[in-house]
Amino acid sequence: MSFAPDPLAASGIVVVDKPAGMTSHDVVARLRRFFGTRKVGHAGTLDPMATGVLVAGIERGTKLLAHLVAEDKVYATTIRLGQATSTDDAEGEIVSETDASHLSDEEILARIAELTGDISQVPSSVSAIKIGGRRAHELVRAGEEVDIPARPVTVYSFDVSAVRREATFIDVDARVHCSKGTYIRSLARDLGAALGVGGHLTALRREAVGAFTLDDATPLASLETNATLSLTLDEALARGWPVLDVTAEEYTALALGKWLEPRGLKGVHAAIGPDGRAVALVKEQGKRLSTVFVARPSTL
């Protein structure tokens, strides 16, 4: 017996270990060339100086990216206390220097505790946030004043692994688990400001986006010679969200965008059919179990 080819065989995600010195857009441009398709996007920008997990969608995998952007992130970072920069990271110009050598570990940890939990954060003025249809960093580079309102974010943990003292500076190595929309540069800036010495980010490596980690990541250079998906669309849904097994009849209904009876589920689940294929992401909304993303619409 022969089976029809899977129309989503080339769709899924690529977890890239982004190198320093490239924008996320640069990575997407490379992936378009490597995979021979224009249908490539990414789930969450990484600054050029940052490295680590950049989740890219290929073909129909691009439709999944909006749901991945909403996931928590984990970062390994180094914050330098005693210097503030124009961009809140090492790529900017130094705008102030203050001797930080008098600060005790206890003082630093106390201020870090204040930046943990539900906080209000003003994103960096050179972030990719859009103001009036333009990116904040574009406005800054054009010499325009940028006023970005504070926004609520959650820092689930802000764990310090080392406090290294070098002359008048202090470098703090930490691991941050945070909600979407959290800017680590802003944490560095605010920590330095709270301690009265200024601060900026000197290193940033993203270790995880939701369930996708560095263990899944492939160096960009390796993808040039072997352009393969990290996970198919089926695998990505099953890995990224709790699995809800559905019958063949329910699978067909979800593929048509129809809703099912509620099951008492909390949060988003991946609906998987008897054949092991993922049909949709679903979520209970009122008295309906509705689709929030259809991976395999009936039209495919």
What is the rounded distance in angstroms from the CA atom of residue 20 to the CA atom of residue 26?
11
What is the rounded distance in angstroms from the CA atom of residue 234 to the CA atom of residue 273?
10
Whether 215 is catalytic is no
Q: Is the sign of the CA dihedral 19, 25, 30, 34 positive or negative?
A: positive
Residue 28, phi-psi category: left (phi > 0), alpha (psi -120 to 50), beta (remainder)? alpha
What is the rounded distance in angstroms from the CA atom of residue 209 to the CA atom of residue 222?
21
The answer to whether residues 65 and 28 touch, using CB atoms and an 8 Å cutoff, is: no
Neighbour tally for 149: CB within 10 Å? 9
CA 46 remoteness from chain centre:
8
Catalytic position from the list 17, 26, 47, 171: 47
Catalytic sites, residue numbers: 47
